[in-house]
Chains A and B, each alone.
Chain A
Amino acid sequence: MEAATIKQFDVELTSRSPGYNLPQRAGIKLWLPMLVMALMAFPAAVILGIVRADQISTGGSGETIETLRQVQVGAMMIGFASVFAAVSFAIARILGQFRKGGGDLQEASGRRVVTLKMPVTAKVFLATMMMAMMTLLGAAVLHFVFAADVSSTTASLELSAERFTVLEGVQRVGIAMYLVAITFGLATIAQVLRFQSSRVRELATEEPRR
Chain B
Amino acid sequence: MSTFALQSTLRPLAERTDQEKASRYRVVGIVIALFGLMVAAASLIGNVVVADEAANADTLAWTFGLGTAGFAAVMLGIATTLIGILIRLWLRVDAVKAALPGLKPDVEPGDSVRVGDIDTAYGLATVTKTVPEKLAIHRMAERMWLPMIAMGPMLVVAGLVFAIVQSGETNPGTFSDLGAIVQGTQFLGQGLILAGIAFLLGTILSSLRSGGAEVQAALGVSIKTLKMPPSAKAFVGLMAAGVMVAMAQFVGYLVATGVDDPTSWFAWLAPVREFGLGLILSGIVLALYTIGTVVGFQFERLGQIIREGR
In the complex, the chain A residue whose C-beta lies closest to that of B60 is: A165
Interface centre among A80, A108, A196 (most CB of B within 10 A): A108
Task: Enumerate chain A residues within 8 angstroms of B50, measured Cβ to Cβ.
Answer: 165
Interface locus among B1-9, B41-49, B165-173 = B41-49
Residue from A49, A165, A183 in contact with B81 in the complex, judged by beta carbons closer than 8 Å: A183
Asked whether any CB of chain A lies closer than 8 Å to the CB of B202, the reply is no
Task: Enumerate chain B residues within 8 angstroms of A198, measured Cβ to Cβ.
Answer: 19-20, 95
Query: Known: A49-B272, A179-B74, A183-B30. Is A90-B288 also a contact (CB below 8 A)?
Result: yes
Task: Enumerate chain A residues within 8 angstroms of B52, measured Cβ to Cβ.
Answer: 162
B47 touches A186 (CB 8 A): no
Asked whether any CB of chain A lies closer than 8 Å to the CB of B203, the reply is no
B74 touches A176 (CB 8 A): yes
Query: Known: A172-B67, A176-B70, A179-B33. Is A49-B270 also a contact (CB below 8 A)?
Result: yes
CA distance A46 to B273 in the complex (A): 9
Give the residues from 296 to 310 in chain B that come closer than 8 angstroms, CB to CB, to chain A.
296, 298-300, 302-303, 306-307
Asked whether any CB of chain A lies closer than 8 Å to the CB of B219, the reply is no
Task: Enumerate chain B residues within 8 angstroms of A69, measured Cβ to Cβ.
Answer: 267
Give the residues from 80 to 111 in chain B that come closer than 8 angstroms, CB to CB, to chain A.
81-82, 84-85, 88-89, 91-92, 94-96, 98-103
Instruction: Sort chain B's interface into a size bin.
Output: 35 or more
Asked whether any CB of chain A lies closer than 8 Å to the CB of B37, the reply is yes
Contact with A along B270-298 (1 / 0, CB 8 A): 11101100110110111011011001101
Residue from A53, A76, A165 in contact with B267 in the complex, judged by beta carbons closer than 8 Å: A53
A172 touches B275 (CB 8 A): no
Q: Which residues on B are within 8 Å of A, measured CB to CB?
A: 19-20, 22-23, 25-26, 29-30, 33-34, 36-37, 39-41, 43-48, 50-52, 54, 56, 60, 63, 67, 70-71, 74-75, 77-78, 81-82, 84-85, 88-89, 91-92, 94-96, 98-103, 263-265, 267-268, 270-272, 274-275, 278-279, 281-282, 284-286, 288-289, 291-292, 295-296, 298-300, 302-303, 306-307
